[in-house]
A and B are shown apart, each in its own frame.
Chain A
Amino acid sequence: MTGNRILAMIVKELWAVLRDPRGRIMLIVPPLLQLILFSAAATLEVKNVTIGVWNRDGGPASVEFINQLAGSRNISRIISITSEDALRSGIDDQKLIAVVIFDERFSRDVAARRPATILAILDGRRSNTAQIVAGYLGTVAANTGASIRPTLVQGGRSIVTNWFNPNLDYLWFIMPSLVVTICSLSALSITVQSVARERELGTFDQLMVSPLRLHEILIGKMTPPFLIGLFNATVYLIVIPLFYGVPFTGSLLLFYLAAAASLLAIIGVGMAVSSIARTQQQAFLGMFLVTVPMTLLSGFAAPVDNMPSWLRLIAELNPQKHFLVVSEGLFLKGMPASAVFAELWPLLPIAAVTLAASTFLFRLRME
């Protein structure tokens, strides 16, 4: 009975993964630890900033600006600077992310309604942070201007509404992407070990002489990572809305469909790596070689839109990229089935290719 044989193979493979207590812990702890670490560390806000102020003006306008600056909730300390040397060492030694300089004419210019300019020196080593701080300074300047010189006539404005994530909470972006990364990573790390371990232990030959047929072996080896990937996704699916308050607005069925489709494609990749590798170590390194680009090109680290067009094309072949779009969509945007399918269909040819390639490479190994 082929059904029984496949079942026996699946049970055997699950045992191989779950038997070692350390291995068991390693399946659960890293994903949870990553969840905690990411939720705590990943932030786009820049808080607790220390800014230097070199006030060569001392007039009322500069004092008002400094008061506004001190009141800004992301700026925790203001340090007075009085010399070129202090400015240079403050920035060079990364004690200050920015120094604001008022020249002698500043308050007089403001009083006379001439254009008044503040010079801000920012640490370009951390260009992203510096730009965000520059944004804070711009807001403080606008507020100071408004409080000193209220305008009577209101000009046009842009009224901004952020759909799907009204407060632009970065956690709401991170969490749905993390589901994708963890789900793929846990499945991949098990898949790559499956063939390589048997080869290293010498049990691969035993498998070959068993009555199992090729497809039975492959199904047996691919099912445990598939199940464990789905298991981790499920844990996250429960934990994220419950503990982190990120809403899940779409259909669960569609989510599992997306997870299953991308897992198939990813497990195909993992199986191919495992068949090529001669040792567990090579398998692990091969996995690393595959995971890092897949994660970086998924849209998790930086938007796919920002990539050069040739790289965007490669990103389209990345199963994680499609899963990520759908995951973000189903968590936050209530993505309808039509949009989900439009994003998911490329996963089918990708999965077909990776699974076929892994079968081919596995067969090659057998001979």
Chain B
Amino acid sequence: MSAAFDPRRMRAMLAKEFTQIARDPSTLLIAFVLPILLIFLFGYGVNLDTARTSIALSRQDDGEAARSLAGAFQQSRWFDVREVGTIGSLKTALIAGKVRGIVVIPDGFSRAAAAGGGDIQVITDGSMPNSAGFVSGYADGVRATWAAGRAAERGERPRGGPAIDVDNRYWFNPALASRYFLVPGAIAIVMTMIGSLLTALVIAREWERGTMEAIMATPIGMGEFMISKVIPYFVLGIGSMTVCTVLAIGVFGVPLRGSPLALLAIASAFLVPALGLGLLISAATKNQFVASQIALLTAFLPGLLLSGFLFEIGSMPGWVQAITYLVPARYLIPPLETVFVAGDNWRLFLPNIGALLGFGAVFFTLAIRVNRRRIA
């Protein structure tokens, strides 16, 4: 292996790599089929927006007020009242997961309501904390609205009630569609997969089969070698990012408020450390199974869990927050979300792009070192 750089050799190597990709159905599968699948799954399957929730109703009071409140629950657009009965019988439905909560209108409710009170009991399925919070919050909302309506009918002013109102304005996403952050997050995962996972696998296979030694025996230089390995996967990564973006905009209505150029810059910056990590893993393991597992653990899982995509970094314990600074995806998620939903903001983009390129430099240096040692 020499250090010289020859454009003709470079072109030949690139042609070889591209042909290899084009002939390997599994590469194209992961570069285009899997990203599309992921976008659809995150767009349709992972829906964090609160839908109509199934509940059960136990009315233990026969008074007019109790029946009226039960009617309010039945007509609520937040709830789908699936079952009616005693608490004992409804518990079975709650355990089986058929309903996510039980609203109990207790005996004596109508009398209490006439006196201006009237408590209800809300039992939630705590095994799904998200839905449980939703059920208790919205059940109280249904009750309060009902109580205010009754008071208004009687010409009274509502008792208590909020003295101070908060008017919430959600910038960038007034409809609060969760796909606005889930779909860009899926794009981040796709790029992690292509950059680290696919690259690690393909190059580990070359080591396993011994074709790597064959390349090493040619006069190719380390720089040429690295570039010829990296460029095809870089192109692949940008290609599938583009496919995903078109789907995100066209199918899921996620806006691209920033410029395509900014998106390209952010995606390119992220692919640098992602590819560097892939090269490093393949050179260090030289084994497809181990490489795939390590890529899953060091790129895929942190990208999903520690990037701030699904879980808030600020809410994690201190030592986990410290680890997140070492996860390249952490610097991708904020600019990616911003370029899609908010618009161009280079004050936010540049420091993150800088961090990504810094990680890229570290990974590439390490990969070159490991490769050198392997050959010597």
Q: Please state if A164 and B127 are interface contacts (CB–CB under 8 Å).
A: yes
Q: Please state if A155 and B129 are interface contacts (CB–CB under 8 Å).
A: no
State in angstroms the CA–CA spacing of A93 and B159 once bound together: 42
- Please give the distance in Å from A275's CB to the nearest CB on chain B: 15
- The answer to whether the Cβ of A130 comes within 8 Å of any Cβ in the partner chain is yes
Q: Please state if A123 and B132 are interface contacts (CB–CB under 8 Å).
A: no
Q: Please state if B127 and A328 are interface contacts (CB–CB under 8 Å).
A: yes
Q: Please state if A121 and B312 are interface contacts (CB–CB under 8 Å).
A: no
Q: Please state if A141 and B122 are interface contacts (CB–CB under 8 Å).
A: no
Given contacts A156-B143, A169-B129, A280-B288, contact A292 B41 (CB under 8 A): yes
- The answer to whether the Cβ of A339 comes within 8 Å of any Cβ in the partner chain is yes
Q: Please state if B139 and A41 are interface contacts (CB–CB under 8 Å).
A: no
Q: Please state if A130 and B136 are interface contacts (CB–CB under 8 Å).
A: no
Q: Please state if A33 and B297 are interface contacts (CB–CB under 8 Å).
A: yes
- The answer to whether the Cβ of A325 comes within 8 Å of any Cβ in the partner chain is yes
Given contacts A89-B347, A155-B147, A162-B126, contact A145 B163 (CB under 8 A): yes
Given contacts A123-B171, A168-B132, contact A296 B312 (CB under 8 A): no
Given contacts A155-B116, A193-B289, A342-B96, contact A160 B124 (CB under 8 A): yes
State in angstroms the CA–CA spacing of A161 and B94 once bound together: 13
Task: Please pick, from A120, A128, A169, A285, the residue contacting B26 in the complex, using a CB distance under 8 A.
Answer: A285
- The answer to whether the Cβ of B216 comes within 8 Å of any Cβ in the partner chain is no
Task: Please pick, from B37, B41, B311, B348, the residue contacting A93 in the complex, using a CB distance under 8 A.
Answer: B348
Cβ-closest chain A residue relative to B345 = A92
Q: Please state if B124 and A163 are interface contacts (CB–CB under 8 Å).
A: yes
Cβ-closest chain A residue relative to B137 = A135
Chain A, 160-181, contact with B by CB distance < 8 Å: what is the 0/1 string?
A: 1111111011101100100000
- Please give the distance in Å from A46's CB to the nearest CB on chain B: 5
Q: Please state if A311 and B290 are interface contacts (CB–CB under 8 Å).
A: no
Count of residues in B whose CB is under 8 Å from the partner chain:
110
Flag the segment in A225-233, A330-338, A354-362 that touches B: A330-338
Q: Which of A43, A176, A342 has most chain B Cβ within 10 Å?
A: A43
State in angstroms the CA–CA spacing of A30 and B293 once bound together: 8
- The answer to whether the Cβ of A4 comes within 8 Å of any Cβ in the partner chain is no
Cβ-closest chain A residue relative to B140 = A158
- The answer to whether the Cβ of A115 comes within 8 Å of any Cβ in the partner chain is yes
Q: Please state if A127 and B178 are interface contacts (CB–CB under 8 Å).
A: yes
Task: Please pick, from B117, B130, B176, the residue contacting A124 in the complex, using a CB distance under 8 A.
Answer: B176
- Please give the distance in Å from B65's CB to the nearest CB on chain A: 10
Contacts of B161 in A (CB 8 A): 155
Name the interface residues of B148-202: CB closer than 8 Å to any CB of A. 158-174, 176-178, 180-181, 193, 197, 201-202
Cβ-closest chain B residue relative to A153 = B159
Chain A, 278-316, contact with B by CB distance < 8 Å: what is the 0/1 string?
A: 011110111011001100110001110111100100010
Contacts of A91 in B (CB 8 A): 171
Task: Please pick, from B96, B147, B320, the residue contacting A156 in the complex, using a CB distance under 8 A.
Answer: B147
Contacts of B297 in A (CB 8 A): 29-30, 33
Q: Please state if A26 and B293 are interface contacts (CB–CB under 8 Å).
A: yes
Contacts of B163 in A (CB 8 A): 110, 113, 116, 144-146, 148-149
Q: How many pairs of residues, A versus B, come closer than 8 Å at their CB atoms? A: 323
Q: Please state if B44 and A145 are interface contacts (CB–CB under 8 Å).
A: no
- Please give the distance in Å from B94's CB to the nearest CB on chain A: 7
Contacts of A279 in B (CB 8 A): 26, 205
- The answer to whether the Cβ of A210 comes within 8 Å of any Cβ in the partner chain is no
- Please give the distance in Å from A101's CB to the nearest CB on chain B: 9
- Please give the distance in Å from A199's CB to the nearest CB on chain B: 14
- The answer to whether the Cβ of B75 comes within 8 Å of any Cβ in the partner chain is no
Q: Please state if A122 and B122 are interface contacts (CB–CB under 8 Å).
A: no
Q: Please state if A282 and B315 are interface contacts (CB–CB under 8 Å).
A: no
Cβ-closest chain A residue relative to B179 = A127
Contacts of A23 in B (CB 8 A): 289-290
Q: Please state if B292 and A284 are interface contacts (CB–CB under 8 Å).
A: yes
Q: Please state if A93 and B171 are interface contacts (CB–CB under 8 Å).
A: no
- The answer to whether the Cβ of A366 comes within 8 Å of any Cβ in the partner chain is no
Contacts of A34 in B (CB 8 A): 301
- The answer to whether the Cβ of B47 comes within 8 Å of any Cβ in the partner chain is yes
State in angstroms the CA–CA spacing of A331 and B97 once bound together: 14
Q: Please state if B288 and A281 are interface contacts (CB–CB under 8 Å).
A: yes
Contacts of B137 in A (CB 8 A): 135
- The answer to whether the Cβ of B118 comes within 8 Å of any Cβ in the partner chain is yes
Q: Please state if B315 and A46 are interface contacts (CB–CB under 8 Å).
A: yes
Q: Please state if A281 and B176 are interface contacts (CB–CB under 8 Å).
A: no
- The answer to whether the Cβ of A209 comes within 8 Å of any Cβ in the partner chain is no
Q: Please state if A49 and B162 are interface contacts (CB–CB under 8 Å).
A: no
- The answer to whether the Cβ of A216 comes within 8 Å of any Cβ in the partner chain is no
Task: Please pick, from B45, B139, B164, the residue contacting A110 in the complex, using a CB distance under 8 A.
Answer: B164
Q: Please state if B316 and A145 are interface contacts (CB–CB under 8 Å).
A: no
- Please give the distance in Å from A269's CB to the nearest CB on chain B: 16
Contacts of A19 in B (CB 8 A): none
10 A-B pairs besides A117-B166, A284-B288, A302-B47 with CB distance below 8 A are A26-B290, A91-B171, A92-B342, A134-B168, A141-B166, A279-B205, A286-B26, A292-B34, A306-B47, A306-B49
Q: Which residues of B contact A (CB under 8 A)?
A: 25-26, 29-30, 33-34, 37-38, 41-42, 44-51, 53-54, 92, 94-97, 100, 112-113, 116-133, 136-137, 139-140, 143-144, 147, 158-174, 176-178, 180-181, 193, 197, 201-202, 205, 285, 287-290, 292-293, 296-297, 301-302, 305-306, 310-312, 314-317, 319-320, 334, 337-338, 341-342, 345, 347-348
20 residue pairs A–B, Cβ–Cβ below 8 Å: A37-B306, A41-B320, A42-B311, A48-B314, A93-B347, A94-B348, A118-B165, A122-B168, A123-B171, A124-B171, A125-B337, A130-B176, A154-B117, A155-B160, A288-B197, A303-B130, A307-B45, A335-B96, A343-B96, A343-B97
